[in-house]
Structure 1
């Protein structure tokens, strides 16, 4: 029975109707579902592209893995922990990091900054060298000039500091131990002066706003640390699974530490993109539902047109359930065919943009990380869209089957 109903529905779908309006409305219904499906695939692929772009930008200064204390902000006995971590397979570098807020002063300019104390291997763990402006270099110390700092572009502009031996930045941090001398407030701060070696720009607002990279020895001296650190940055060997190494580190250190990959380090940014993606998906899904209601109107007109056929099928012994199932299957076919066409066209457009980049972003391309509209087609998104089309098509087709059965009740009554 199901095969017979499918064959009849397929014939009704492609056969010429006695009223041309039914053909036109059928095409419009199918096109509406196709356009809505195509739009969902393209929009979700765009969000995937922006997610990849955000990940690539986050990876500039973010290590492969960062280890932070579960409570408090200090990791003690860092040297012994480093020895254990460097023995884990897949770990290439492990270096301590000290981060804190401070006050930076350069000439008559001052601003609060986020100091990041790092070791000489910081250039191996991050891509800081790649994002330093051409008129400077990433350096932590010099045999003649002494300790050096690399400023973010926001801090450099605010402090009016440039990478020259004459551009020195003083850093002030409140004392962690001892009493405050109200008669001499300056004694309540520890200070140091560094030469600006370079300026970096990652095109991330948070990173570029107030960053200041300094030697970890200076950071520890300012904060009165011995071998403490606020985090441990891990660089993995090529081809090593981040999840596997993270699990090994977690088992080694226990529950007193939090092990974060790059996505977890930028959790808020990626969560925002994910929320925007699925909110947009819900809005476009609502448009797809509205477009699918055109299928109901199309099938209602088809039920009226096939009134004589319905009488004939009932007369030769077909059940009302079978006849109603014919129109239900036809409605589902319209939705599925429209959905498949829309997903296929959307996939072709996204792949064309992904590989050839024919759509470009507006604005000054010299100031952008990329001038091509970022897109990445994901097969799971296509499956989600097809599943949505199938569910919506089933619901609208069920409504049509109900209308067809009522129509048959009237026909039999006549």
Structure 2
């Protein structure tokens, strides 16, 4: 009965057309606010997904790193146990160390990342090669793949040059560094042959060089089971958190297991913070719509004074009258939200398929704003509209419920 009354009040023409106008203005404001929230949140989701796809080319799904220090040591039996964990698809050993590179008269500082042959299975860097080839074999000398920024800084021609790049890396023995008579004696030296160039984004392109792990292991005099990290890929359908927990339980507190988000916590936290700030500011559109709802429902209470009096005279409690007008407010909010959701879905689908809104400049990886719709955003906006709708309807409904019976004798 409550919904019947509320729907009738919503659909019926009022004696004063201003009440209808204000009600539909409230519906329109909620629709615009809802569409704006869903669209903007979907754009943030799109950029987050884009960043994740870029990072997945270089960072693994899970990374086992030392809890303290720079290296960990894993035995062959431990590696077999890790491979046997349900959900672990592949693992790759990795060593990272800063080095000075010299090519001709040019020199720069970079991070050398030594990987084994399984690296292809835990990351997708081979799909980001823009020049040369992805080849880390070392039959005729250790080969390397340069980030585009480092290639430019050194002036290396990865496709035609056969001249190696000199690598200088501090020795691990601190005493030998202090007692060395000449600076060169404190450094390990080696050569790598550039054969390819990758391009992901500036953070990687100007920092990393990939080579075979045995090059760094020999250069740094590391034992066979010693590494900077162990990188893991997870089989489809398995939970990253569950696999992470099992790996952590197996290896203990001497290591820390990081997901891809935890490996890049700063940038993901910044993006999430920006998304929440935008959500808060755009929610003010719904707050403005709430004031329209208060006005519309207050005028409806005045118009329906006779109906309220009759209901109370027939024995209806104040709570029933209050629920009728609360429901009326929810109908206004619900109608606006449905229209807003439909509008937002239409806009997002058009953007996904046709790229209507372009990114200016022409220097981006994509031409148009990326859009990804997430169910969580629809639930969040729905709850927001529900809360605002209830709060906006509370005062007019309370006022209707407290109205005194005023029947006139005929």
Q: Which TM-score applies when normalising by structure 2?
A: 0.88
Change (3 A) 1:87 1:404: closer
Specify the alignment match of 2:391 in structure 1.
Answer: 395
Which one of the candidate residues 50, 54, 57 is aligned to 1:53? 50
Q: Is contact 1:332–1:390 with CA below 8 Å preserved after alignment?
A: yes
Shift of 1:262: 2.5
Residue pair 2:359, 2:368 contacting (<8 A) in 1 also:
no
**Given the superposition, is the C-alpha separation of residues 91 and 324 from structure 1 closer, same or farther in structure 2, using an over 3 Å criterion?**
closer
Give a deviation string over 1:227-269, Cα, whole Å, max 9, x none: 2101012244555554443343223222322222333323322
CA gap of 1:88–1:341, structure 2 versus 1, over 3 A, is: same
Aligned to 2:26: 29
**1:120 aligned counterpart, secondary structure:** coil
Number of aligned residues: 404
C-alpha contact (below 8 Å) 2:351/2:357 kept by paired residues: no
Q: Does 1:115 align with 2:112?
A: yes
Q: CA deviation at 1:76?
A: 1.9
Residue 78 (structure 2) pairs with residue 81 (structure 1): yes
1:397 Cα deviation from its structure 2 partner: 0.5
Give how far 1:114 is off.
1.2
Counterpart residue number, 2:247: 249
Matched, 1:12 2:9: yes
Aligned residue for 1:255, secondary structure, equals helix
Spell out, residue by residue over 1:345-391, the C-alpha distance to the aligned partner (whole angstroms, 9 max, x if none). 3233324434x2442532466x5433343222222221221111111
Tell me which residue corresponds to 1:148: 143
Alignment check: 8 A CA contact 1:74 1:229 kept: yes
Q: Aligned equivalents of 1:402 and 1:113: distance in 2?
A: 68
Distance 1:38 1:409 in 2: 41
Q: How many Å apart are 1:219 and its aligned residue? A: 1.2
SS in 2 for 1:198: strand
Q: Gaps spanning 5+ residues in structure 2: where?
A: none
Q: Distance in 2 between the 1:337 and 1:85 partners?
A: 53
Q: 1:80: Cα distance to partner?
A: 4.4
Moved more, 113-122 or 88-97: 88-97
Check conservation: 2:65, 2:255, Cα contact below 8 A: yes
Q: 1:257 and 1:347 mapped to 2: Cα distance? A: 44
Matched residue SS, 1:254: helix
Is it true that 1:158 corresponds to 2:153 in the alignment?
yes
- The CA deviation at 1:125 is 3.0
For 1:124 and 1:380, how far apart are their aligned partners in 2?
31
Mapped pair 1:281 → 2:279: yes
| Root-mean-square deviation (Å) | 2.7
**Are 1:383 and 2:362 an aligned pair?**
no
Name 2:172's counterpart in structure 1.
Answer: 176
Cα separation, 1, equivalents of 2:272 and 2:62:
22
Query: Pairwise mapping of residues 347-362 of structure 1 onto structure 2 (< 5 A)?
Result: 347-354=345-352, 356-362=353-359
2:177 and 2:185 in contact (8 A); partners too: no
CA distance in 2, matches of 1:314, 1:126: 70
C-alpha distance in structure 1 between counterparts of 2:249 and 2:359, whole Å = 48
Q: Work out which of the residue numbers 203, 206, 211 in structure 2 matches 1:214.
A: 211
Please give the alpha-carbon distance, in whole angstroms, between the structure 2 residues aligned to 1:161 and 1:371: 30
User: TM (normalized to structure 1)?
Assistant: 0.88
